[in-house]
A and B are shown apart, each in its own frame.
Chain A
Amino acid sequence: DAMVIQNPRYQVTQFGKPVTLSCSQTLNHNVMYWYQQKSSQAPKLLFHYYDKDFNNEADTPDNFQSRRPNTSFCFLDIRSPGLGDAAMYLCATSNLLTGWDNEKLFFGSGTQLSVL
């Protein structure tokens, strides 16, 4: 009954070689997020899509891009991965309806990225 699915669970790439991480959801939520979490650190928001509108965090490096071709899918593209980009990448969704439940995030299991 996985609702937010991330593939692959583990991804190994080479320094400088572009890599794409994928996320899909069966919840029909209108917001999708990408968080980066390094060891022993807080999940850090990279960007999010509110419907089709892309919202980048101010401190997200240009090396990180995202695509959302439809409601269900969202991709994280790292154009030239560096050693410092090795981390767990978490996809999350939320459903912004009127009311107070809009901040509840549903997370995927994450993709652990290694850069060699």
Chain B
Amino acid sequence: AQRVTQPEKLLSVFKGAPVELKCNYSYSGSPELFWYVQYSRQRLQLLLRHISRESIKGFTADLNKGETSFHLKKPFAQEEDSAMYYCALPNSGGSNYKLTFGKGTLLTVNP
């Protein structure tokens, strides 16, 4: 069965510092991975997906199949990046529109 692991429950950085939120996965086949974000008092929303290879709000994430990782990175963190971040991947076995989420990492960017 697929699994998503976010090893860090909490991550605290200073404004302007680089940030990396870790995500590791186990999946049979070629996964498609996502990062979802939840800002304070807002709903959970899609941040980015690996298939689109885009940078959203300065964040990027590269799929590393050798390390089975999909870490989220930003070179210069901003205070408004403070939020809960969830890594997610579709369920294996054909139902690729159902997502399995990691437990999340709470990012705090200090001034």
For residue A70, CB closer than 8 A to chain B, the reply is no
Q: Least Cβ distance of A46 to chain B in Å?
A: 11
CB pair B4 A94 closer than 8 Å: no
A115 and B88 alpha carbons, distance in the complex (Å):
29
A7 and B102 alpha carbons, distance in the complex (Å):
26
For residue A96, CB closer than 8 A to chain B, the reply is yes
CB pair A42 B86 closer than 8 Å: yes
- Kindly report which residue of chain B lies nearest to residue A90, judged by CB atoms: B44
With an 8 Å Cβ cutoff, the count of chain B residues facing the other chain is 24
Band of interface residues on A: 20 to 34
Known pairs A42-B100, A42-B104, A105-B46. 10 more at Cβ < 8 A? A4-B43, A31-B97, A41-B103, A42-B4, A42-B103, A43-B86, A103-B34, A103-B49, A103-B96, A107-B45
CB pair A107 B97 closer than 8 Å: no
Q: Least Cβ distance of A48 to chain B in Å?
A: 7
In A25-82, the 8 Å CB interface with B consists of: 31, 33, 40-45, 48, 55
A-B contact pairs, 30 of them (CB 8 A): A31-B97, A33-B98, A40-B9, A42-B86, A42-B100, A42-B101, A42-B103, A43-B44, A45-B98, A45-B100, A48-B98, A55-B95, A90-B44, A92-B44, A94-B97, A96-B97, A102-B97, A103-B32, A103-B34, A103-B49, A103-B90, A103-B96, A104-B46, A105-B36, A105-B46, A107-B43, A107-B44, A109-B42, A109-B43, A110-B43
For residue B99, CB closer than 8 A to chain A, the reply is yes
For residue B51, CB closer than 8 A to chain A, the reply is yes
A100 and B87 alpha carbons, distance in the complex (Å):
18
Chain A residues whose C-beta falls within 8 Å of the C-beta of B86 in the assembled complex: 42-43
CB pair A100 B51 closer than 8 Å: yes
A42 and B103 alpha carbons, distance in the complex (Å):
4
In B57-111, the 8 Å CB interface with A consists of: 86, 90, 95-104
